[in-house]
Amino acid sequence: MVAQRVLEELDRSPKLPAAESGAADLPAATARADKYLAFDSNGDPIASSGPLGDSNVPISGLMQNLLNDATTGDAQDTLGGTAVGKSVFIAATTDVALDAVKGVKQGKHTIWIPAAAMRPTVSAGCVALTDIQTTAGNPDLQVLDFVSTTDKHAQFQMAFPKSWDEGTITFQVYWTTAAAVTTGVAWSLQGVAVSDGDSAGVAYGVAVPVTDNAQSGAEQVLITSESGAVTIAGTPAGGDLVFFRIFRDVDDPGDTMTEDARLLAGC
């Protein structure tokens, strides 16, 4: 039993390979107190005070400098980057821009607004949301129809993400037509921001149009180019509810289509 126990303890102990010889004893307790177990250049166990205090532990020059840094600012200087906010660090070679309050600012962000998220306005509203079957078993289209004879409108609203800078926006319209035509349509968008405690009975900002032509096929998905800058009326601030009104601007010279224009979505 004693021999078996000894063998079990040996099996659980670190051992040198049979082909190697040398000292495998640990340093004395006084030598290894508050130290790390490490191995010297011969592979023998040593008590090490860590990378900064023991030449036997290999470390790069960069890490040597980083571990020597006493403050977060010193470490940032060593890494060659910039701190943003309380917990984000951006290296100097990156193209990503962050803001301490608004978060990611890199590039242009889009928000998808399908026709199903819009409603005809009470005054001069477009046709209510309609489901259009293309071919049985194929995708159906959910559309808002806008006639060619007079301006008709739809409305939607949203609270923008915190990353919004409260500046101007642009938009694109996804639309279609029931007719195989090549004439054009003009879509316009205007918006107004309403803060906590403010009345929603305020005027929209200036409408900005974008025009597009059909491409000779019925039920084709048509996508406008990106519009010019839309200025949100009011005094936009973080957390505001922003109301938008989109409409077909039949008085625009680019609106030449005599058929209904069918709105699919905006972004």
Return the percent helix, strand and coil in the chain, to nearest 5: 10, 30, 55
SS3 label, residue 29: helix
**What is the total count of domains within the chain?**
2
* pLDDT value, residue 86: 44
CA–CA separation, 223 and 267 (whole Å): 10
Task: Provide the H-helix boundaries in the chain.
Answer: 2-11, 29-32, 61-68, 72-79
Query: Domain boundary at 104, 124, 143, which?
Result: 104
Tens digits of residue pLDDT in 18-48: 677 666 677 788 877 877 777 777 777 787 7
Q: What is the DSSP string of 72-84?
A: HHHHHHHHTEEEE
* pLDDT value, residue 40: 74
Burial readout 115-139 (b: 16 or more C-beta within 10 A, e: otherwise): beebbbeeeebbbebeeeeeeeeee
Indicate the angle between helix axes 72-79 and 61-68, nearest 10 degrees: 160
Query: Domain boundary at 50, 81, 104, which?
Result: 104
Which residues form the domain of 28? 2-104
* pLDDT value, residue 174: 98
What does the block give as tokens for 260? 């209904």
Contact partners, residue 19, CB within 8 Å, separation at least 6: none
* pLDDT value, residue 35: 75
Query: Domain boundary at 104, 137, 162, which?
Result: 104
The segments of the chain whose pLDDT lies below 50 read 85-90, 94
* pLDDT value, residue 56: 57
CATH number at residue 166: 2.60.120.260
Same domain, residue pair 68 and 123: no
Report the predicted TM-score, pTM, of the whole model to 2 decimal places. Answer: 0.65
